[in-house]
Amino acid sequence: MSQKFQEIINSERPVLIDFFATWCQPCKVQSSVLNTVKENVGESARIIKVDVDQYPALAAQYGVRGVPTLAVFKNGEMLWKESGVHDVNTLTQLLKQYA
């Protein structure tokens, strides 16, 4: 996953990474929010989900201590990271800002 992850975050397009866990209730809420965000931003940004239980090293590498944690990358650089559930408008604006 690490090599593929590097390729994804090195993109010219902003990439929103959703670090989540299958057992996490707020993550399920965040997931439905992200579906709407994806519709709003279309092809201008990507949204990728990373299960912290399947990829603990990746989560640790980026300082993920709680789920959900969202991070925005562009050209391999982390531009923004926050834990907790975020609303559609905040995330849509954020991705449009970096697009």
pLDDT tens over the chain, length 99 residues = 789 999 999 999 999 999 999 999 999 999 999 999 999 999 999 999 999 999 999 999 999 999 999 999 999 999 999 999 999 999 999 999 999
Is-catalytic flag, 27?
A: yes
5-31: string of b/e by CB count within 10 Å (b at 16+)?
beebbeeebbbbbbbbbeebeebeebb
List the catalytic residue out of 27, 52, 59, 91.
27
CATH of region 3-92, choose from 3.40.30.10, 3.40.50.300, 3.40.50.720, 3.20.20.110: 3.40.30.10
- pLDDT at residue 16, rounded to an integer: 98
List the catalytic residue out of 24, 58, 79, 88.
24
CA 67, CA 12: separation in Å to the nearest integer? 26
- pLDDT at residue 2, rounded to an integer: 81
Is-catalytic flag, 94?
A: no
- pLDDT at residue 44, rounded to an integer: 97
